[in-house]
Amino acid sequence: MPEPFKNLINPATVRSLAERMAETGRFQKDAFVGDATDGLEDLELKDRIRHIAAALDRHLDDDYELALDHVLKSLPPEAGEDEAIGTGFATWAFCQFVETYGQDHLELSVAAMYEITKRFSCEFAIRPYIAAEPQRLLEVLRTWAHDENVHVRRLVSEGSRPRLPWGMGLKIFQHDPEPVIALLDLLKDDPSEYVRRSVANSLNDIAKDHPDKVVEVAKRWMTNAPPERKRLVKHALRSLIKNGHSGALELFGYGAPDISVQFQLTNKRVELGDSVEFEVDVTCKSDQSLLLDYAVHHMKANGKLTPKVFKWTTRKVSAGDVLSLTRKHAMKVVTTRKYYAGTHKIELLINGQSFGEEEFELYLP
């Protein structure tokens, strides 16, 4: 099993941070290390970062401006163009320090995040500032969208995501995504794949609240789009495509299917750890593109069924073609799902439309 992510924030991380701080100003590194590591290993990832940031606050100057100056002097070298911005985990504590203690000093803190982000992304730290002063921060982000540093440009899209995982939600943008879309417009043809992938993830966030709006943006962006932008749009629409949104599917050539279908399970009694198998025969009545997926409707503790869509295959077909396909889906134990005995379903989805459901019984050992 892989090492838990939280273990990247450990006593050695704290000591490396303390040594940098001691090199650039008056700092009682041993006292800080003792304070910051006390109870550290009992905490989860983000609580570890908050714990270290709180220790920084206790051991730095009481004057925020002087404390921040000490932090900035202690920054490691900038991350390279192709270097993952999350490798210097000790620097995350600096982001958290600015997030927690700097909101009464907006200009100083925003300028600090600009520098810190070149080493470790302030995508979490900047969000309370955006929520408190959206217009001022949008103006800053518009300027940063043209910055020469790739990590600063990525902060524009990642920091403004309405639903950033692990980060506070930006309700103002969940309600009205237009300001974010305007920022993404500036970055959609960024030379860096790292930035473009962030743009796609932000659009995917927006699609959770405004699916039709995102399809409108995607259609506009697909006009005379270079290959890189086409890949961005496809990634941005991945959730809509998986969920069968007709507008998203049509944008990639998957219209209403002109077919007839036979669909059946080959086993209707499945033990946990085995596979449920099904067969599909598709008779094609015209030339078209087909996107075949399926949903497993899992039994929950309350007895209700909840679907999860799984990708399967895509085919370009001609009139008269007959596709004969089989699929096995393993009902194996995974850490992210708890199984319950009882009636489950397999649902066949073609171009986002349902072409039948078949039940099977899942038995637990």
Query: Which class is 5-251 in CATH?
Result: mainly alpha
Tens of pLDDT, residue by residue over 198-254, are 999 999 999 999 999 999 999 999 999 999 999 999 999 999 998 889 999 999 999
Domain 259-363 sits in CATH at 2.60.40.1930
What are the DSSP E strand ranges found in the chain? 259-265, 269-271, 275-284, 288-299, 305-317, 322-330, 342-350, 353-363
**Residues 56-83 pLDDT 10s:** 999 999 999 999 999 999 999 998 876 5
Tokens representing 263?
A: 């669909």
Domain locations in the chain as residue ranges:
5-251, 259-363
Please tell me the predicted confidence (pLDDT) of residue 83.
59
d(CA 96, CA 155): 15
| Pick from 287, 268, 234: nearest CA to 357 | 268
Lowest-pLDDT choice from 2-11, 29-38, 90-99: 2-11
CA nearest 96: which of 131, 134, 139, 55?
55
Largest CA distance in the chain: 80
> In the predicted model, is pLDDT for residue 86 greater than 80?
no
User: Would you tell me how many other CB atoms lie within 10 Å of the CB of residue 353?
Assistant: 14
CATH topology agreement for domains 5-251 and 259-363:
no
Question: What b-and-e string marks burial along 14-24, b requiring 16 or more CB atoms within 10 Å of the CB?
Answer: bbebbebbeee
